[in-house]
């Protein structure tokens, strides 16, 4: 069939944003298909609110079809393909993503809004997971367990869990699917992907590249749906006895709902949920490194990441210097605009609701004594919002206790180590944390005692394919990436043989 991804390279640069004459379709059982209802929904560019494409609006019946296709695909993928063969296909998928980087990044920017440079980085990051798990496919080892008696052989083997449902967010519409799918497919699982309604096109593009890489029909399925249909589809996936695991990245409230819905079938649930990351700058920190790290973690994807620094604690001795340097860096490096403009380094927020949230949080903080250093205004286009810096933030403000998911950097002063450690851990979520300083004993202490799943020490960008990504407390269950990433998609089996 003709590649709609190839067509997109031409269409996206024209005034028409349609990727196919009939719009983008779901991908089920190796075929592009419309919903049984024939309905579709619009995908909008958040910078200018123009329609990027019309996408198939799947319902539960379509989801049932996708799951059945995945059941059939699993039998072939898990038992007719060796780990080496699966790894070879995943590596080809990796190569295709790199070859198609420009097309995929352009599509991503059009529907999500992030700057094209960041979108390119996301495609490279996504590809890295297929490269990593292409190798890990051959390293899913079992165990030989010594027996307490003669003439018995005890084996522990690891087997694919089965069909997995991958429910992904809009902020990294390619990477979050790649991180889940690469691990799941490497061990022999098949997948049904439900992308966010704001960014379904990148998921469909990933299906196109999967087909080109040689992924068999039914092994990788993508069902797209608007917000209304998403709720019932997700409930079906959680309650289906044909789905063996749910992997979800998104908000903590939705994660809790999916966990509850999965209880009836006692299925495996992997959750990567919200964060409210503390970033601590000690009095002995190299301020240039601290500011660079803050810029990287706070303003990537316009602050719309689960590992974004939300609570920035700065020692009182170096507070003013740090704020001055951070304000200067923001003014120099952050350019708000259209993600397709090469000058842009800050794209729009995902929608107006996200802008409203930022405005409410900022208003509350300023009303309780915070000082506005820069930014704080709605941008001129779409759901754009200016990068914002505020100081003198009090612990009783909403912004000090809420995941912002926007480009606001709120600064709080601290004096004592014990004081800031307590403040950093005074939170029901714990995904990532960041510390900047030189005292190795203190850095080691805080690395161990911060109640988070990941710590960046003098570093603001910590995610990579080789490392385990995940949180503690209400930030989730399980890990993605690294050698640990396959744990969520395998079962241990004990085999006892008498000889």
Active centre residues (catalytic): 272
CB-CB contact of 251 with 170 (8 Å) = no
Q: CA dist 355 to 18, 118, 378, 404, 406, Å?
A: 27, 21, 7, 10, 8
* Helices 101-112 & 4-11 angle (0-180, nearest 10): 70
Write out the H or E segment, with its range, that includes residue 152: strand 152-160
- Residue 372 dihedral angles phi and psi, to the nearest 5°: -85, 120
Q: CA dist 64 to 225, 243, 313, 370, Å?
A: 14, 10, 48, 51
Which residues, in sequence order, are bridge partners of residue 499?
none
CB-CB contact of 134 with 87 (8 Å) = yes
**Both ends of the chain: CA-CA distance in Å?**
54
CA distance 179 to 190: 14
Q: Residues with Cβ < 8 Å from 90, sequence gap 6 or more?
A: 130, 131, 133, 134, 137, 182, 185, 186, 213
- Residue 170 dihedral angles phi and psi, to the nearest 5°: -95, -15
């Amino acid at each position: 069939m003709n590649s709609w991804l190839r067509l997109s390279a031409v269409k996206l640069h024209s005034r028409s944003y349609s990727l196919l004459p009939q719009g983008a379709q779901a991908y089920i059982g190796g075929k592009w298909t419309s919903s049984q209802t024939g309905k579709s929904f619009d995908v909008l560019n958040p910078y200018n609110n123009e329609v990027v494409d019309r996408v198939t609006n799947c319902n539960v019946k379509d989801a049932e079809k996708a799951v059945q296709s995945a059941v059939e695909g699993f039998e072939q993928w898990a038992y007719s393909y060796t780990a080496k063969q699966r790894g070879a296909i995943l590596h080809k998928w990796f190569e295709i993503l790199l070859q198609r980087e420009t097309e995929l990044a352009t599509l991503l920017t059009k529907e999500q809004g992030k700057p094209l440079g960041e979108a390119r980085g996301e495609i490279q990051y996504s590809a890295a997971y297929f490269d990593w798990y292409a190798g890990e496919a051959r390293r899913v080892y079992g165990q030989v367990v010594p027996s307490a008696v003669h003439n018995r052989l005890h084996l522990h083997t690891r087997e694919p869990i089965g069909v997995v449902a991958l429910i992904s967010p809009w902020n990294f519409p390619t990477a979050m699917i790649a991180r889940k799918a690469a691990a799941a497919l490497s061990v022999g699982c098949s997948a049904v992907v439900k992308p966010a309604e704001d960014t379904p096109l990148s998921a469909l593009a990933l299906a196109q590249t999967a087909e080109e890489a040689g992924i068999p029909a039914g092994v990788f399925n993508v069902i797209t749906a608007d917000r209304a249909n998403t709720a019932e589809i997700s409930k079906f996936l959680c309650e289906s006895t044909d789905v063996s695991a749910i992997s979800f990245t998104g908000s903590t409230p939705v994660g809790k709902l999916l966990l509850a819905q999965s209880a009836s079938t006692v299925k495996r649930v992997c959750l990567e949920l919200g964060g409210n990351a503390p970033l601590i700058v000690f009095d002995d920190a190299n301020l240039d490194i601290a500011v660079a790290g803050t810029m990287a973690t706070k303003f990537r994807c316009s602050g719309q990441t689960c590992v974004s620094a939300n609570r920035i604690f700065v020692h009182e001795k170096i507070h003013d210097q740090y704020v001055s340097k951070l304000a200067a860096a923001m003014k120099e490096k952050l350019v708000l605009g259209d993600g397709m403009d090469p000058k842009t380094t800050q794209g729009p927020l995902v929608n107006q609701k996200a802008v409203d949230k930022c405005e409410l949080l900022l208003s509350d903080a300023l009303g309780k004594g915070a000082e506005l250093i820069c930014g704080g205004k709605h941008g001129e286009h779409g759901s754009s919002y200016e990068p914002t810096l505020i100081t003198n933030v009090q612990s009783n403000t909403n912004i000090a206790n809420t995941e912002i998911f926007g480009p606001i950097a709120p600064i709080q002063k601290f004096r004592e180590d014990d004081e800031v450690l307590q403040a950093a851990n005074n939170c029901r979520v714990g995904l990532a944390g960041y510390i900047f300083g030189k005292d190795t004993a203190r850095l080691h202490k805080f690395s161990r005692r911060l109640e988070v799943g990941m710590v960046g020490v003098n570093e603001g960008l910590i995610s990579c394919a080789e490392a385990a990504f995940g949180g503690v407390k209400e930030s989730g269950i399980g890990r993605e990436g690294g050698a640990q990433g396959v744990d969520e998609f395998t079962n241990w089996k004990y085999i006892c043989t008498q000889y």
